[in-house]
Each structure stands twice: as structure tokens, then as C-alpha cells.
Structure 1
Amino acid sequence: MVRASACGRPFVREGAVSAFPFDAVIFDMDGVIVDTEYYYLGETAAFAKELGLNLTQEELNGQVGTSHQFFLRMLVDWFERAGKGHLTGEEALIRWDEWAHKRPRDYQALINPGAVDTIRELPRRGVRVALASSSPMDSIEEVLNACGLSDAFEYVVSGEQFKESKPEPDIYLHALDLLGLPANRCCCVEDSVPGITAGKRAGLTVIAKREERFGFSQDAADKIIDQLPELLTLS
């Protein structure tokens, strides 16, 4: 894996086997490669319940696709509302991690159908692949290792590298800079409103993996697909 702060390895086209309309695809991770958004929502709901907070489903759904920075602010707010004092983001995260580590995550079981094969196939067709996720880099590495994708991406960019991640476009603009490509030669694959918004603000063509469990609209995306293998049929 090449972190965003490192120089990318030279990219060698392996010979396109079919036409593809973009030079590169930038993938989101949570909800796109792995079905973690729904799993994480269950975790946060359980955590909030243990704190004694009665959150509505609308409040919970509003967390889907948000940044790590947003998550830290949410934790601080939750602890204060629960009468646990005013913590820093770092202190709140330590308490969250202590709780979450008691609930092991089987990321391999959460891989979306066809995700690994699609990501592996794109470079065979001469298409470069990168990843831009709002998750912290250690979480990204854990997921990619579990999914057998640690070497799959030319660049991996984490939202924790920026003051604000999605829906701000910075993470995608940085990925484009690393790839050395203009936005009109790339697409991104997203699922949530913050991610779709970030991609559009960066000038990318946004492909949304269909998501209907959280009550939000994906209408701002340029195209909606049901599963990742449909990417290979774009023309």
C-alpha cells in the first residue's frame, strides 16, 4: 500500500481489454468496499444506549458517511449529555476504543459482493485505482488487510490528514494531485451524501453504490449502480 504522503510507485498499464471511460477510479471504503456503515451504526446505537442516551433513528442515520472529525465531536457531545464530563476528542476516542475493542469486527465477512474482483480487474484494463476514505489510516489498513487489498491501490488517502474530510472536497482534490490527473478523467465510487457531495465538489463524476437503508437520497450522483462489478460495464 502506498500512503498519500509517499511517492507513488510507477504505474504500468497492463494492456486494456475493453474500453473504459476514465483513467482512474477513486474508491470510498466504508459502504462501498465493505458493508461497514450498517455495522457501525449498530455499534454506535449500542454505545449510546449504554450511555443512557435515547437517540432517534434519524439521529443515528445522520452519522452515515460522516468524517472521523465529526465522529469525535459527536462522542464529546454524547459523553457530556450523559453526564460524563467534558472530554477532549482524544479522551473520548480512548473511551470509545476501550468499548469497541470488546466487540471484534469480521471485516472479511462484510466485503460487498464482487468488490475485490472489481478492484483487481480495473488495472488489468488499464485503469488506475486509488482509495479516499474518511476513516483513520490505521482503520483503513486493518480493513484492507482483512480483505486482501493491502496492495491493490496506487494511493491511499485518509480523511484524518485534513482539517475536515467529506463533504469537503479536499480529500478528493489531494487524490487527484497524487494521481496527476484532472477531475474530468476520473470518477469516484461513493454511497453516502457526504461522500457524494465531496466528489461533486471536487469535479469528479460520482458513481453511487445503491444504499436504501438509511433514508438519504443519492440523486446528486451521476449514476447509481447496485453492485461494484457494474463499474466494469461503464462506457
Structure 2
Amino acid sequence: MDLSELISKISLVIFDMDGVLVDTEPIYLKVEKDLIGRYGKEIPSDLIERIKGSSLLRSMKIMLSELGIEGDCEELVEEERRMLRDRFENEEIKPMPCALDTVNWFSSHGFKIALATSTEWENATLILSKLGIEDYFDHITTGDQVEESKPNPEIYLKTAKVMEVNPASCFVVEDSLNGIKSARSAGMNVVAVNVRRDIRDEFLKLTPFVFNSMCELLDGLLKIRGACE
């Protein structure tokens, strides 16, 4: 199945937020490194990929366990939450290249648009409002509205249920292995964007649709003729 055929079969597009629509992953990484650095530890690159896309709590639990740190997980998560809020309020938040044009392409072709992010509601809405794009979405599901974090499929299944769309008719845009596993477990079609070349093969094991950037995905969409007519 090529991209054109896939697009012709879907009615709801669900975007992840961090690293897909907004360039906030470096902020998360800086805060996590600051917190973990207090214990004289560094976060290996492979561990960064394994926690990417998950909730703050799940990510912190994994980091403490993997790095042998005996810190109080809930206290660290609460501090991380405050540190992130401060940065989101005071630092410039930029959209990822071609992200908004991609959302607009789907919207202009009549697709329903939703957001499913592990970021909690307070921070997610702050980020979206700073960019003026909170009204781009027909529905938003955030990490604190579900019991289980990605890679569990709950957040995507809940989004599809609210939107009254069969999971098989959903098209998910993700940038993390946890997010892709979540969408696939929900029975949805998923594409990966902003994937580093050195880990591309890991993504290809989960989906044949792997793009180096959102601009590459948008270029593929712009070449489609009549898929949505």
C-alpha cells in the first residue's frame, strides 16, 4: 500500500504533539538531564529513545530503574512538571518545519483532526495557545486523561472513540517508537516523521511509512491527486 492508497481509506488524522507539531523535545531533554545530573548520572542516547513519547511518570520510573537511582519518583516528577511549566511559559515555542502546513492539508481535504499527546492538559494547552493553534483540532486527548501511557494504546483508542471513528480508519503521525507502538496496538495506520537516519531501521520494523521530516511527508501528500475527492 502506498501513501495515496492509505490516505484514501482514512477519515481521522491524529497527531502527536511534542517532536511532531512543536519543537519541545529539547526542552524535555534539558530538564531531564538537569534532574538526573543531580545524582551524578547521564542519560544514554538509547535510553532517551526508549522513554521518548511516554508520560513523565513512566519515563522517570524507567530512568531511575535503569540508572540505579534511589530518588523519590513522584517528587521528581512533580519538580519536572514545575520546571517544564516554567520553560514553556518563558521560552519561545516553535512549530516543527512544515507541521502546520501538513495539518492544514488534511483539514482542507475534509479530514477530522485530533491530537493525542502524553503531555498533560495544562502544559499542552499552554503550548498550543502560544502558537495559536488550539482551534486546529476537533478533539485533544492528553496524558493525564488516560490511565496508561504510550506505548499502551489507550490514548489512541480513547481519541477514536470520542471522535466516533473506527481505529482502522485513523491515520496517526508520530515521531517516537512508543507512540508508533501505541497506535499500532490500537489497530491504526501510522507514519513516523522526524526520524534520525541512525535509528530508521527500528522504525521500519513497525511501519513502512518512515519520513526524515514532516516536510517529506507533506511533499508526499502534495503529490496525491484525487485521493480525497
Shorter chain as normaliser: what TM range?
0.7 to 0.9
1:120 is aligned to 2:104: yes
TM-score (norm: length of structure 2): 0.79
Matched, 1:232 2:221: yes
Contact kept, 8 Å, 1:75 with 1:92, in 2: the verdict is: no
1:27 equivalent in structure 2: 15
Residue 156 of structure 1 aligns to which amino acid in structure 2? Answer: I
Structure 1 residue aligned with 2:115: 131
Shift of 1:204: 0.7
Query: Residue 183 of structure 1 aligns to which amino acid in structure 2?
Result: P
Aligned residues between the structures: 211
Task: Give matches, 1:1-235, under 5 Å.
Answer: 20-21=7-8, 22-74=10-62, 81=69, 87=72, 89=74, 91-100=75-84, 103=87, 104-108=90-94, 111-212=95-196, 215=199, 217-219=202-204, 220-225=206-211, 226-227=213-214, 228-230=217-219, 232-233=221-222, 235=227
Gaps of 5+ in 2: 1-5
Change (3 A) 1:66 1:118: same
Which amino acid counterpart does residue 218 of structure 1 have in structure 2? F
Task: Quote the Cα distance in structure 2 between the aligned partners of 1:106 and 1:214.
Answer: 29
Report if the CA contact (8 A) 2:51-2:178 is conserved: no
Over the matched positions of the two proteins, sequence identity in percent amounts to: 27
Q: Which amino acid aligns with 1:155?
A: H
Q: Shift in Å at residue 186 of structure 1?
A: 1.6
SS of 2:110's equivalent in the other structure is coil
Structure 1 or 2: more helix by fraction: 2
Against the structure 1 CA distance between its residues 147 and 185, is the aligned structure 2 distance closer, same or farther, given a 3 Å change threshold?
A: same
Q: Is the 8 A contact 1:196 1:208 kept in 2?
A: yes
For structure 1, list consecutive stretches of 5 or more residues without a partner in the other structure.
1-18
Query: For 1:185 and 1:168, how far apart are their aligned partners in 2?
Result: 19
Deviation for aligned residue 1:80: 8.4
Per-residue Cα deviation, 1:129-159 (whole angstroms, up to 9, x for no partner): 0000111111110111122211110000012
Structure 1's 127 and 60: CA in aligned 2 closer, same or farther, altered over 3 A?
Answer: closer
Q: 1:116 to 1:168 in 2, by over 3 A?
A: same
Deviation (angstroms), 1:106: 1.9
